């Protein structure tokens, strides 16, 4: 068989593509498990550490907020790097920045500097950026008919790290007590090591680069010729503006993520107001995380079999039901738990189908830029939503927060109903 198009790192024969896809996916799953573990082990005690360093509970929420802000702010520079150089250098840099941020958090804890802690948490958010971008790396070489499953497989891998992380936080804290480091900062020291291992894995094993290989395979095609106006971020924005389905995809991931983060962030407070203890709150949040990640392969399969629009509709339905259940639960902890589980499922359906549709709907050359724009938009909106959620609950109550979350889905529902079934 004649060789296929060459990537920047060597020729790729068409017959070798299936094995290459499997190998790239395996590497991404491994780094996603480690990256998810690093993020989860760090944020498990982020609020506690912020309270200890600042000396007040009122500022404890700024630590996770800084992480979300850092994830959003770093999305575009990392996307620009990937657009120019490929997935590998972008993911490596993201993990290295995340490790450096974790180190700064530890230094801030030792020095007792709250501003330095916030800077470290913002850089730590790069680890989350790497995890988000990994789902798109899985889609680079996937066949269009299997793109949803490729994305969902990598998203599913986060489940392992997300579950293990909080359970490792306590021993990680105890491991540094003899070093003069506060126990609440210990998980960040471990997270730094995990991120560095992830960076090494990507640098050594993610070869050939999936994005550059995909571009080489698309070279000379009509799609590639149409995308020949450049691979800049400006070109990515233009690609979204010119594609109604890309706009729908962007609204899908943004609305799903913002609704989920806004409601989830204040659910522990609502549960505590109704007498729930730490153990019960942890169980509810664990169920929510299971809904987010554990069933993502199902969402990927449905997205490929039934179509992206069908699963986007499912996301709207699940998120709406979640808001209804949680918002009217009152003192029923079981009802709140059911609502949070559906909230996770709805987020999974929206993220997987929206990410697949976004990749489907823009030219190959503009995809990395568009995907970075997607992560910037969803994390910025979620950061604003998380901050506003506290004000809404304080002023009107948890039920109204869920009502507002449901209203965020209305533009998504309208766009989905008006979207053409095919084409860009």
Q: Residue 6 phi/psi, 5° resolution?
A: -90, 140
Model confidence at 221: pLDDT above 60: no
pLDDT at 271: 87
pLDDT at 11: 55
pLDDT at 423: 46
- Banded model confidence at residue 368, pLDDT cuts 50, 70, 90: confident
pLDDT at 229: 46
Average pLDDT (4-33) is 77
pLDDT at 393: 86
Extract the tokens encoding 88: 């590998």
Extract the tokens encoding 201: 């894995």
Instruction: Provide the CA 26 distance to its chain's centre, in angstroms.
Output: 19
- Read off the pTM: 0.83
pLDDT tens profile 317-326: 999 999 999 9
How far apart are the C-alpha atoms of 51 and 393, rounded to whole Å?
21
Residue 273, SS3? helix
H/E run at residue 65: helix 62-85
pLDDT at 228: 44
pLDDT tens profile 394-421: 889 999 999 999 999 999 999 999 887 6
Report DSSP state, residue 256: H
Task: Give the other-Cβ count within 10 Å of 190's Cβ.
Answer: 22
Taking CA atoms, 85 is separated from 90, 209, 223, 347, 423, in Å, by 8, 9, 20, 31, 29
Tell me what the pLDDT averaged over the chain comes to.
87
Strand spans (E) along 10-120: 10-11
pLDDT at 201: 97
pLDDT tens profile 268-301: 888 888 888 767 877 888 788 889 988 999 999 9
Residue whose token pair is 């958010």: 125
Average pLDDT (141-169) is 86
Taking CA atoms, 101 is separated from 28, 64, 180, 273, 404, in Å, by 22, 13, 19, 34, 34
Average pLDDT (255-278) is 86
- Cβ-proximal residues to 345 (8 Å cutoff; 6+ apart), any chain: 291, 292, 295, 318, 322
Average pLDDT (185-195) is 93
H/E run at residue 6: strand 6-7
Q: Which residues is 11 bridged to in the sheet?
A: 6
Residue whose token pair is 């105890």: 174
- Cβ-proximal residues to 256 (8 Å cutoff; 6+ apart), any chain: 315, 319, 346, 347, 349, 350, 351, 354, 412
pLDDT at 4: 45
pLDDT at 285: 80
H/E run at residue 7: strand 6-7
**Pair 402, 278: CB distance under 8 Å:** no
pLDDT tens profile 82-100: 988 999 999 999 999 999 9
pLDDT at 328: 96
- Cβ-proximal residues to 8 (8 Å cutoff; 6+ apart), any chain: 86, 208, 209, 212, 213, 216
pLDDT at 220: 54
pLDDT at 232: 60
Torsion angle (degrees, nearest 10) of CA 101, 103, 107, 112:
50
> Which of 78-82, 373-377, 417-421 is the least confident region?
417-421
């Amino acid at each position: 068989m004649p060789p296929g198009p060459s990537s920047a790192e060597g020729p790729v024969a068409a017959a070798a593509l299936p094995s290459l896809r499997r190998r790239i996916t395996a590497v991404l799953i491994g780094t996603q498990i480690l990256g998810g573990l690093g993020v989860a082990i760090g944020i498990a005690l982020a609020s506690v550490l912020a309270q200890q360093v600042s000396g007040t509970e009122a500022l404890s929420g700024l630590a996770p907020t800084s992480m979300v802000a850092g994830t959003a702010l770093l999305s575009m520079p990392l996307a620009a790097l990937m657009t120019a150089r490929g997935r590998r250098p972008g993911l490596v840099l993201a993990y290295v920045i995340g490790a450096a941020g974790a180190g700064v958090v530890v230094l801030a804890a030792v020095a007792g500097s709250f501003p330095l802690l916030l800077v470290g948490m913002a850089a730590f958010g790069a680890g989350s950026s790497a995890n988000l971008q990994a789902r798109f790396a899985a889609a680079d070489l996937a066949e269009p008919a299997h793109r949803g499953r490729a994305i969902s497989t990598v998203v599913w891998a986060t489940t392992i790290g997300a579950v293990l992380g909080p359970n490792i936080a306590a021993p990680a804290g105890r491991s540094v007590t003899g070093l003069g480091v506060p126990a609440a900062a210990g998980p960040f020291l471990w997270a730094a090591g995990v991120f560095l291992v992830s960076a090494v894995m990507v640098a050594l094993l993610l070869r050939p680069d999936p994005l550059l290989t995909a571009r080489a395979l698309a070279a000379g095609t009509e799609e590639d010729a149409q995308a020949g106006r450049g691979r800049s971020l400006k070109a990515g924005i233009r690609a979204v503006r010119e594609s109604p389905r890309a706009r729908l995809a962007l609204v899908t991931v943004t609305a799903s993520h913002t609704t989920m983060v806004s409601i989830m962030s204040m659910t522990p407070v609502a549960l505590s107001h109704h007498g729930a203890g730490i153990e019960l709150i942890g169980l509810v949040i664990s169920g929510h995380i299971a809904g987010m990640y554990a069933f993502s392969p199902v969402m990927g399969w449905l997205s490929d079999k039934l179509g992206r629009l069908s699963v986007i509709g499912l996301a709207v339905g699940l998120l709406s039901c979640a808001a209804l259940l949680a918002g009217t639960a009152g003192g029923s902890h079981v009802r709140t738990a059911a609502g949070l589980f559906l909230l996770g499922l709805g987020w999974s359906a929206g993220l997987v189908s929206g990410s697949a549709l976004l990749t489907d709907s823009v030219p190959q050359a503009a995809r990395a830029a568009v995907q970075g724009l997607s992560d910037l938009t969803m994390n910025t909106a979620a950061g604003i939503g998380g901050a506003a959620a506290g004000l809404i609950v304080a002023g009107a109550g948890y039920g109204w927060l869920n009502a507002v979350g449901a209203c965020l889905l209305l533009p998504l529902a309208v766009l989905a109903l008006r979207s053409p079934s095919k084409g860009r």
